[in-house]
A and B are shown apart, each in its own frame.
Chain A
Amino acid sequence: MNNKNPKSKIRNLLLPWLDAIAITAWGVLMLRYWLTNKLNLLIHPNYIWFVVLTGISLIIIGFLKMQELWQRRRRDVTSNSPHISLFPPGWGSALLLTTAILGFIITPQVFASDKALQRGVTADLLGSTRVKPQAFRATVRPEERSLVDWVRTVNVYPEPDTYTGQKVKVQGFVIHPADLGKEYLFLARFVLTCCAADAYPVGLPVKLQDNQERYSADSWLEVEGQMVTENLAGKRQLTIAATSFKKIPQPENPYSY
């Protein structure tokens, strides 16, 4: 692989460094997300260990490669001829490195009401088939159920009257879907199965009393009240009749699982 062309010689010397740097950068990015608690915003907690392990492995691989390149820097034997690919040499690593740099600059954000509306929140959101019951604890007191627990329970026993009068105390963020009247708001949480790509909103409508303040979209609330059945968008729907609202800060981990 003696390249007479000085340009391609430089390329052959630099490209392996690009590979090593891109790989190391991704390792560092993953560990950074982990250490700054941002991984929660991206993936399901079950896989955090896997990402951390990958981050460490990538850093090790990157450093091994750099060490090797450094040791043989005087010899021009590192010509990395193109692998099977759609890309010209260097593009794969360049893309990886660019994304890693973007990842350092731009902070991932918590999905909010705009995303929920885009994913499709309607008053009959409860019909969502994607929320499947997981381990049920039979003895749970109604007021100890989280918002997601409620939605799961209702998916199993959909008759809203079953729950009439039960006490509720749940936390979530506010959405104002177009088809809900002014005296209602929708309290929601995002549920993650795998990663942010499949985050989908679930929640329950909340009925406000006349004298109650209207909260703006995306504010986080703790709502206390009782369950009632309301007729919303032509459908009988389990609704929280709120007795008290408390503004709460956005939880450190805003997603449910």
Chain B
Amino acid sequence: MNQLNNGFTLFLSLLVEAMPFLLLGVFFSSLLLFFVDERKLVEKMPKNPLLGALVGSMIGFLFPVCECGNVPVARRFLIQGVPTPVAIGFLLGAPTINPVVIWSTWTAFRDQPEIVVLRVVFSLAIATIIGYVFSFQKDLNPIVQPAIARYMKFNPPAPPETKRRGKPYQEQEAMVPNILQSGTYILGGKAGIPLRIDANFVPPTSNSTSNKPLADKLRLVVDNSIQEFRELGGIMVIGSAIAAAIQILAPRELILSLGAGPITSIVVMLILAVVVSICSTVDSFFALSFASTFSSGSLLAFLVFGPMIDIKGIGLMLSIFKPKTVFYLFALAAQLTFVFTLFLNLHVL
């Protein structure tokens, strides 16, 4: 009984500490969805593949999205003709390389600052390398889902110099939310135009506040925040429950022997990273509960690999890429994480 209560206390403490960061994360990402003009950003992307991958993985600083918000954005990047390395870099890097995630990691690992720094460095390196690798694939058709390929074939992105500056206000207004809105999309049958199937996103004309765009936007921000908060919050509850259960139920000898081995600890954490789809904004608290028993390298493996790919992420990525591509992304990211953190375990920490 006492054990159970200890476990519950641990579970609650994870939730209470993580909830503020989650709220901040979803609020920021919702806010930026509605207030940042993605189009201008797209035009400024560098053409050099290596530089592009690097810049792409750092866009997270502008869009603090976690791994659930970044897939739709990455997809729209691709559709708009952003170079592949930029889109891939963004897909893998953005969930980690953003201010909210860095702050929450710092909160959790205040007494091990090296974890915070290395998390950023490793994520940046891996996202850039994989983005660069994908730059050698010039033809997107074999790697993306047919619907996206078809859309890009029939709607080639206009070259940047022909784009008109200073669009009429309404046009921009209508475009921005549609482009940046994270949420559920289906690629419509005819032209493959992404269709938002989210009824919350009611056009503002339907009620009396239509002439107050700011108030409307704010209401949409709140609605979007609620949606993301309940989804990610639900996943966070399950993740915290798993963390607490492992702490309490798993035999201490088993955990100690797994956690101390330089290789086994990393493998276990990589598997946990895939299984536990906890949001990157709060995953450092999950890792923290293993800090006393698992090697630092393995904690990093969880923190670096988790945001890139987990169960929930795979489903989302399949909406952009063919299964083969997702597998390559997955395998490359896992191997790079493994190599980096193993080096750390064996030679540094």
Contact = CB atoms under 8 A, between A and B. Distances in A.
Nearest to A30: B16
B200 A42 contact: no
B199 A83 contact: no
Given A42-B13, A195-B13, A195-B17, A114 B230 contact: no
Contact of B20 (A53, A77, A109): A53
Interface stretch (A94-102, A180-188, A241-249): A94-102
A83 B234 contact: no
B222 A65 contact: yes
B187 interface: no
A87 B234 contact: yes
A233 interface: no
Contacts of B228: 83
A178 interface: no
A120 interface: yes
Given A106-B5, A108-B13, A197-B243, A83 B231 contact: yes
Interface stretch (B50-58, B107-115, B263-271): B107-115
A110 to B, nearest CB: 8
Interface string B18-43: 01100100000000000000000000
Given A30-B16, A51-B16, A95-B238, A81 B277 contact: no
Interface in B205-240: 206, 219, 222, 225-235, 237-238
A23 B229 contact: yes
B311 to A, nearest CB: 7
Contacts of B20: 47, 50-51, 53-54
Contacts of A43: 13, 16-17
A33 interface: yes
A87 B23 CA distance: 19
Given A23-B229, A39-B16, A41-B9, A84 B285 contact: no
B322 interface: no
B111 A64 contact: no
B225 A61 contact: yes
B231 A85 contact: yes
B6 A198 contact: no
B235 A86 contact: yes
Query: Which one of B9, B229, B252 has the greatest number of beta carbons of chain A within 10 Å?
Result: B9
Contacts of B15: 99
Given A19-B226, A26-B19, A42-B9, A84 B182 contact: yes
A109 B227 contact: no
B23 A120 contact: no
B12 interface: yes
Contacts of A93: 230, 234
Interface in B271-305: 277, 285, 288-289, 291-292
Contacts of B285: 194-195, 197
Given A96-B237, A193-B110, A193-B111, A87 B231 contact: yes
Contacts of B6: 109, 111, 114-115
A180 B244 CA distance: 29
A6 interface: no
Contacts of A61: 222, 225-226
B101 to A, nearest CB: 15
Contact of A92 (B19, B72, B234): B234
A78 B231 CA distance: 17
Nearest to A103: B12
Contact of A77 (B17, B111, B202): B202
A26 B229 CA distance: 12
B240 to A, nearest CB: 9
Interface in B48-83: 68, 71-72
A58 interface: yes
A102 B311 CA distance: 27
B242 interface: no
Contact of A95 (B16, B71, B198, B234): B234
Q: Which of B6, B197, B230, B237 gathers most chain A CB within 10 Å? A: B230
Contacts of A103: 12
Contacts of B243: 197
Contact of A84 (B68, B222, B256): B68
Contacts of B17: 42-43, 47, 51, 194-195, 197
Interface string A29-50: 0100100000101110001001
Interface string A191-228: 00111111010000000000000000000000000000
A73 to B, nearest CB: 14
Nearest to B288: A198
Contacts of A26: 19
Interface in B169-209: 182-184, 197-200, 202, 206
A57 interface: yes
A81 B198 CA distance: 6
24 contacts: A58-B23, A61-B226, A65-B226, A81-B198, A82-B184, A83-B198, A84-B182, A84-B183, A84-B184, A86-B235, A87-B231, A91-B234, A92-B233, A92-B234, A92-B235, A95-B233, A96-B233, A106-B5, A108-B13, A114-B6, A115-B6, A193-B288, A196-B12, A197-B247
Given A194-B17, A198-B292, 19 more contacts: A1-B199, A20-B226, A41-B13, A42-B16, A58-B23, A61-B222, A61-B226, A68-B219, A80-B227, A82-B184, A83-B231, A84-B68, A99-B237, A109-B6, A111-B9, A112-B2, A193-B110, A194-B109, A196-B9
5 tightest Cβ-Cβ pairs between the two chains A and B: A92-B234, A196-B13, A54-B20, A92-B230, A42-B13
